[in-house]
Amino acid sequence: MNEKEIRASLLEAFLIKSTVKQKVYTNTLQTFKILKKVLKSLEKEYYGMIKEQVSPAAIPAFRERGPFEVEFEIGGDLLIFSMHSNVFEFDNNSPIIKSEYIQDDPLRSYCGMINIYNFLADSFKYHRDKDLGYLVARIFINKDNHFFVEGKRQTEENVKSFAIDTISPGVIRQIVETAIRYCIEFDLLVPPYDAVKLATVEQMQEKIIHSKMTTGKRLGFSFNSDDV
């Protein structure tokens, strides 16, 4: 292959990948728009169901934080849904890469990603910048608008589901409500005594002013991928 042919081959590969990545980005952005509609619908639905039973401070609330981030507050929990603007490829050792679905068309492995994080609502309310949040799920979407989700209590059949499932408002709602249910049941635990027995003067001064002692639902405990 001469230099001209090599250059032409490189340009062809670039054009193919660029086209695929743009399609993935478009699909991911559309999924994020569906996600926002689902969250708005849940806010209205939940409000109608519990407005007479809880204090105004506990009423579910949907808010947009920017073009790629939205939040859903329910009780003391804050779920942040964050769409990454880049497109990702999986590691060669990933079961996804080895699946028949990807082997038939390797370009299917390029995916956009939407992350779902769980924080304490008070962490943002009181500007406790050192508080911890947890990634509870993430959604991957490819050029064919197929998807799979991994995370707490989400489906475990990632490889199989990726080859079959396509994005729809119904599946997005199922993913979201699974994450919400997990976060509500994932309670704030008292940290081990030895993990918090020492404090600096600065920490105490900050605590007095802003209640800034580092807080997280499992501070001092392990938070592993196999926790359910």
Antiparallel, parallel or unpaired: β 61-66 and 147-151: unpaired
- What pTM was estimated for this model as a whole? 0.82
Rounded to an integer, what distance in angstroms lies between the CA atom of residue 75 and that of residue 9? Answer: 56
**Residues 91-119 pLDDT 10s:** 999 999 999 999 999 999 999 999 999 99
Rounded to an integer, what distance in angstroms lies between the CA atom of residue 60 and that of residue 42? Answer: 8
Which pLDDT score, from 0 to 100, does residue 220 have? 41
Residue 124: name the closest of 114, 134, 132 by CA. 132
**Using the 8-state DSSP alphabet, how is residue 191 labeled?**
P
| The total number of residues written for the chain in this structure | 228
The proportion of the chain whose per-residue pLDDT surpasses 90, expressed as a percent, equals 55
Give how many domains the chain has, as a whole number. Answer: 1
Rounded to an integer, what distance in angstroms lies between the CA atom of residue 148 and that of residue 166? Answer: 9
Residue 223 pLDDT greater than 50, yes or no:
no
* Burial zone of 65 (CB within 10 Å; 0-12 exposed, 13-18 middle, 19+ buried): exposed
Residue 224 within any structural domain of the chain: no
Residue range 59-86: average pLDDT? 94
User: What phi-psi label fits residue 135: left (phi over 0), alpha (psi between -120 and 50 degrees) or beta?
Assistant: beta
Residue type, 1: M
Sorting pLDDT into bands at 50, 70 and 90, what band is 214?
low
Residue 123 within any structural domain of the chain: yes
Residue 116 within any structural domain of the chain: yes
Residue 175: domain span: 3-187
**Residues 156-205 pLDDT 10s:** 667 778 999 899 999 999 999 999 999 988 776 666 777 667 766 676 66
Rounded to an integer, what distance in angstroms lies between the CA atom of residue 4 and that of residue 10? Answer: 10
Sorting pLDDT into bands at 50, 70 and 90, what band is 222?
very low
Residue 34 within any structural domain of the chain: yes
Q: Note whether 99 and 110 are within 8 A (CB).
A: no
Which pLDDT score, from 0 to 100, does residue 227 have? 56
Tokens of 76: 């003391």
> Mean pLDDT, the chain, as a whole number?
84
Q: Note whether 115 and 107 are within 8 A (CB).
A: no
Cα 113 to Cα 75, 83, 140: the distances in Å are 27, 6, 5
Residue 76 within any structural domain of the chain: yes
60, β-bridge pairs: none
